[in-house]
Structures are given as C-alpha cells and as structure tokens.
C-alpha cells in the first residue's frame, strides 16, 4: 500500500510532501484511496464535503464504527502525518479479515479533506463542515495564496461546492470514531511504549498579522525617513518566543509574506501568521494578548499600521473517558495516555461523535518535516492495536 502512495506529491528536492487540498497530488491520493477501497470490495463514496468513505456493511446503518485520518499535507510534510492513519485502517481491516472477524456493526474507513489547511489557511475543513463548525458561507470565502477560492478549487477537482455544509445525519449514524496518528512529539518515546491513547488536544489558533508601512528604495531612503514594516514584524517574532516561554505555551511565526519582496526595496507590507497553542486556555489567552500588545507598540514606534485577524481558533478538546477506557481495556495492560498540541479531525468530530485517538511512537518527535519518522515495528504495533480496537467495537 505504502509503495503506491509514497511518490504522490513528493518534492524531488527535499523529499517532503506537498499534497494540498484539491490539487493534482490530492486527486492522486484520492484515487489511491478509492482503489484501496474497491480492491477490498468496500462500498466507496464521497460525502457532500468531499470526505471519502469506504464501507464494510451498510453505509446507512446505525452505530457505525469509523476509523481513518487524512492524506493531505503541510508544505514539505512527512510521510506519516495523516497517511499512517489511513494506511493502518486498511491494514487493520485486512488483519481482521485474516482473523475471520464477524462484524456486527457497519465499519468505515474515512479520508477527511483538507486537514492541514496548508492551502486555504483553515485546518480540518472537511470535518469542520460536516460537524457544522464551519458554515458554507465562511468556507466559500476561503482563498489560497494565488487568490483561487475554495469553491473554485473544489469545482476544478470535480466536486460540487454548493453541496458543502453540515452533515448531521451522517454523523448521527456513527457510534464511534477512532483516529490513529503518528505522534508529533516525543512523549511516547519517553515512556518506552510504541502505542498510546490521546487524552486531549490543546486549544490552538492562527492569527494573521499585517504590518503595512511604506515601500521605498533600499539605497536612497534615509533610515530616519523609513516606515519599514519588517522591523515591528521582527520584534513581534521575538516577543512571541518570549511570551510563550513565560506562559508555558508555544508560539510560532512559520509563514511570512513580504511585498514587494525585493532585495533592494523596503517592504510595503509584511504579513506573518502566528500559530499559538497551550495546554491551558488562560496561558494561550495571555500569550496571544501579549504578542499583540508588543506588536502594536513596535508598529507605533516605526509608524507602521498593524491589523491582526484571528483566522481560526479551536478550543480545548477532552476526549470522552468512556470510549478511551473501552480502548484501554481492549488493548490490555498499561497504555500511556497523552495530550497533544497538534490538531486533528478527531478533535473536531469529538463534539458530535464519541471519539478516541491512538498514537504511534515517533522516535525523534519530528513532524511537519520530511524527517518525520516512525519505525516499521511500531507501525505494525499500531495496526495490531487498531485491529484489536475495531474488533472489540465492531465485532461484539
């Protein structure tokens, strides 16, 4: 399975993946998913929001058990973030068939669209739409860096953008959703276990900072005459690091756009995106407010205008104890239970459906990078754990 997926969207230079929503690479991943479903005799469908489903049993049956993850990536993402959950789902189903499992509940494998938000700026678009946490109107306003709208991109990919919206009937038919995901830190590695369970997802959000100054000549404009937006931007990056350290949070400016982006021009605009997360909402609020205050102070000092827009926010998710305890029982023994600062479709869906997550050890903790890795044996342990869970839930 991995062999056919591995070359799709891989950047020849970095070896990282660029599988952005509704692009050619995404379409190839979707074709791969459909082929995996059909090769197993599963009923394949896409929902109104472009999420893909592969059903064993009646797609309209109730109390379904659903597993899966996403196939899209961040810029230069690793091979595992998302795909490990989808590949493991198909492998777990193969394992269950090998065991001769008899299913008493419908089972589905899902690929949720645009989980990373790498193209349109908002993460988990497919699951947010389904869960009614993103309206069609708001989704239709999303634009990529080239100005292509989400509806246009969906239409170009052969999907109907007017169909998107809440899908409560579909979610009501799901009795449990379990997402397996590579861990994106080193917590599991530190425990020595290959597989763990998720307790919570930290509250997190994205804020766009637009510093607007005055474009001018880099050689002839006296320093005193400049309104250079790069200066308050640079101070803001440092403030984000400082405030995150003080509050026990994390804060990152990982994307920046500069206009006109010329070596010999003072920028007219610097647009940076703050991603900040914390275990605790009040720590996150403190960081976000302090970074904005520092940015405003620095912008004023340089005669630069600042606009801050919150582009997305996801409150804390505490996965329900009932399903997690059931998984722990099915998996026997003492399994580590961890919180994470990474967002997931499981976090979005947990507001509508009983949801749990399995993490597979990541020995370096590196993720959102081509260097992301999980060992072969650990991936196998993940498949076995997922098979045990699905057997316990769907075959009782």
Q: Which stretch binds Mn ion (CB under 5 A): 73-81, 135-143, 166-174, 372-380?
A: 73-81
Q: Which is nearer to ligand GLV, 23 or 340 (CB)?
A: 340
Q: Does 116 bind ligand GLV (CB under 6 A)?
A: yes
Closest to 55 (Cα-Cα) out of 33, 26, 76: 33
Residues 43-62 that bind ligand GLV (CB under 6 A): none
| Distance from C-alpha of 124 to C-alpha of 345, rounded to nearest angstrom | 6
How far apart CA 345 and CA 89 sit, in angstroms, is 15
Instruction: Report how far apart, in Å, the C-alpha atoms of 235 and of each of 201, 285, 287, 366, 388 are.
Output: 29, 20, 15, 27, 51
Q: Is 82 in the site for Mn ion (CB under 5 A)?
A: yes
User: 178 pairs with which residues across the strands?
Assistant: 67, 356
Q: Which residues contact 277 (CB under 8 A, 6 or more apart)?
A: 202, 203, 204, 205, 249, 250, 251, 284, 341
Residue 366 token pair: 């590196």
Q: Please name the helix (run of DSSP H) or strand (run of DSSP E) that holds residue 216, with its range, or none.
A: strand 216-217
- Express the helix, strand and coil content of the chain in percent, nearest 5 each: 35, 25, 40
The residue with its CB nearest to ligand GLV is: 343
Number of residues located near ligand GLV, criterion CB under 6 A: 4
Of 266 and 317, CB closest to Mn ion: 317
Integer angstrom CA distances of residue 228 from 66, 207, 221, 269 = 52, 21, 11, 8
The runs of H, that is alpha helices, within the chain are: 2-5, 24-39, 83-99, 125-130, 136-140, 150-156, 168-172, 187-191, 230-247, 281-301, 321-331, 345-349, 376-394
Residue 270 vs 342, nearer CB to ligand GLV: 342
Residue with Cβ nearer ligand GLV (30 or 204):
204
Q: How far is CA 292 from the centre of its chain?
A: 25
* Least spacing, CB of residue 204 vs ligand GLV, in Å: 7
Is 123 near ligand GLV (CB under 6 A)?
yes
Q: Which does 82 bind (CB under 5 to 8 A by kind): ligand GLV, Mn ion, none?
A: Mn ion
Q: Tell me: does residue 250 bind ligand GLV (CB under 6 A).
A: no
Phi, psi of 104 (to 5 degrees): -110, -5
| Residue 286: CB minimum distance to Mn ion, A | 24
- To the nearest whole angstrom, how small is the minimum distance from the Cβ of residue 227 to ligand GLV? 33
Q: Which one, 288 or 387, has the nearer CB to ligand GLV?
A: 288
| Shorter beta-carbon distance to ligand GLV: residue 84 or 342 | 342
**Based on CB atoms, which residue is closest to Mn ion, 36 or 184?**
184
Nearer to ligand GLV, 33 or 112 (CB): 112
Considering the complex, state which of residue 272 and residue 343 has its C-beta at the smaller distance from ligand GLV: 343
Judged by CB under 5 A, the stretch of 42-50, 80-88, 251-259, 270-278 that binds Mn ion is 80-88
Binding residues with Mn ion: total (CB under 5 A): 3
Residue 228 interaction partner, one of Mn ion, ligand GLV, none, beta carbon < 5-8 Å per kind: none
Does 81 interact with Mn ion (rule: CB under 5 A)?
yes
Instruction: Please state, as a whole number, how many other Cβ atoms lie within 10 Å of the Cβ of residue 321.
Output: 11
CB of 38 to ligand GLV, least distance (A): 29
Binding positions for ligand GLV, 309-368, rule CB under 6 A: 342-343
Instruction: Give the nearest distance from C-beta 313 to ligand GLV in angstroms.
Output: 13
Beta strands 269-277; 204-212: pairing state = antiparallel
Q: List the one residue from 126, 185, 267, 343 that touches Mn ion (CB under 5 A).
A: 343
Q: Which residues bind Mn ion (CB under 5 A)?
A: 81-82, 343
Q: Which spans of this chain sit near ligand GLV (rule: CB under 6 A)?
A: 116, 123, 342-343
């Amino acid at each position: 399975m991995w062999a056919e997926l591995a070359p799709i969207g891989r950047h020849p230079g970095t070896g990282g993946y660029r599988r952005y929503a509704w692009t050619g690479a995404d379409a190839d991943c979707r074709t791969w998913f459909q082929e995996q479903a059909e090769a197993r005799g599963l009923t394949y469908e896409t929902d109104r929001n472009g999420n893909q489903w592969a059903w064993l049993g009646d797609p309209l049956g109730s109390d379904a058990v659903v597993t899966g993850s996403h196939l899209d990536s961040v810029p230069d993402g690793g091979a595992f973030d998302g795909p490990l959950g989808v590949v493991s789902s198909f492998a777990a189903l193969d394992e269950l068939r090998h065991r001769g499992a008899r299913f008493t509940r419908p089972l589905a494998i899902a690929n949720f669209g645009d989980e990373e938000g790498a193209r349109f700026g908002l993460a988990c678009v497919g699951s947010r739409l389904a869960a009614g946490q993103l309206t069609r109107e708001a989704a239709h306003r999303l634009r990529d860096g080239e100005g292509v709208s989400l509806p246009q991109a969906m239409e170009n990919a052969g999907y109907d953008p007017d169909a998107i919206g809440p899908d409560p009937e579909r979610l009501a038919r799901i009795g449990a959703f379990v997402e397996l995901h590579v861990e994106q830190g080193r917590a599991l590695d530190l425990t020595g276990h290959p597989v763990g369970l998720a307790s919570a997802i930290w509250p997190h959000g994205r804020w766009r900072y637009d510093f607007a100054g005055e474009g001018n000549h880099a050689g002839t404009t006296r320093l005193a005459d400049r309104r250079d937006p790069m200066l308050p931007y640079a101070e803001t990056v440092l403030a984000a690091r400082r405030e995150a350290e003080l509050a026990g949070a994390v804060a990152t400016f990982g994307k920046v756009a500069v206009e006109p982006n010329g070596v010999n021009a003072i920028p007219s605009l610097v647009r940076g995106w703050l991603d900040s997360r914390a275990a605790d909402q009040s720590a996150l609020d403190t960081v976000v407010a302090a970074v904005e205050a520092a940015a405003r102070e620095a912008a004023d000092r340089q005669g630069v205008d600042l606009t801050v827009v919150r582009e997305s926010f996801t409150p804390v998710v505490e996965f329900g104890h009932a399903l997690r305890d059931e998984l722990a029982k099915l998996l026997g023994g003492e399994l580590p239970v961890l919180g994470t600062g990474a967002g997931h479709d499981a976090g979005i869906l947990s507001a509508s459906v009983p949801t749990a997550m399995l993490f597979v050890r990541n020995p370096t903790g590196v993720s959102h990078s081509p260097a992301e890795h999980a060992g072969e044996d650990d991936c196998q342990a993940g498949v076995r754990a997922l098979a045990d869970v699905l057997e316990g839930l769907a075959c009782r």
